[in-house]
Amino acid sequence: MDIKKLQTVVVDALEDVKGQEIVLFDTTHLTSLFDRIAVVSGTSNRQTKALAASVRDKVKEAGGDVVGLEGEDTGEWVLVDLGDMIVHIMQPAIRQYYRLEEIWGEKPVKLGAAKRKSTAEGLEAAAPKSKSKHLAANQEQEEAKPVRERKPAARKTAAADGAAKPAARKAAAKKIPTGGTVKVAVPKAAAAEAKAAKAAKAAAPKRAKAAEGAAPAKKVIRRIKQADE
């Protein structure tokens, strides 16, 4: 019989007769005689004998071999030899005195992995339990969608604003689009000179007309007397 199945049968048999403080250890690294050892307590001679009988009968029903059974006469310490597994059924005082857990308990096996997996009770316990739909917690709810929140822009200090604006202007001045026309500011002195020249040019015809009206040109007519012939 497979060792996992064997340890499951043994634990089930011990629990059926209400064995106390059941522990299971892996001994493959300590000895080649057996792979598992189980220790359990019985409160009386009668219970220890009943535990041993339960293990013997359950293993035989599952198709396993029972090599030997010792200690049934006194019932203080009953040992069941299953070949690959040894079961020690002890009364509390005897168990506390010999402390088998300190000798073989280097690698404990979790009972959850060996308890009632193949039985109808185990299958029923492993089956998913139906939930009441009357409770709001058991009702199916729509999957929550992530919400993207816009974070408010961080407020800048006055000094930061003052330092950032000139930099932004300089950066804007450096960007010149390809193929575009760049307007260059005319110096103030040159603009004033051009404006004065333009004004003087516009005022010259007016002055000429004013001069003509004020002093008309004199026409000199010379008469030439012809000599009498």
pLDDT tens figures, 93-105: 999 999 999 999 9
DSSP 3-state assignment of 99?
A: coil
**Which residues in 4-76 belong to E strands, given as ranges?**
20-26, 36-41, 68-70
pLDDT at 224 (0 to 100): 55
Confidence of residue 169 (pLDDT cuts 50, 70, 90): low
Higher pLDDT, 65 or 185: 65
Report which of residues 7 and 152 the model is more confident about.
7
Q: Rounded to whole angstroms, how far apart are CA atoms 18 and 229?
A: 184
Angstrom distance (rounded) from CA 111 to CA 226: 165
- Answer whether 0.85 is exceeded by the pTM: no
Closest CA to 59 of 45, 34, 80: 80
User: pLDDT of 130-157, one tens digit each?
Assistant: 554 555 555 666 666 666 666 655 555 5
Percent with pLDDT over 90 in the chain: 44
Residue 68 pLDDT greater than 90, yes or no: yes
Q: What is the homologous superfamily of the domain 3-116 according to CATH?
A: Beta Polymerase, domain 2 (3.30.460.10)
Residue 126: predicted pLDDT? 47
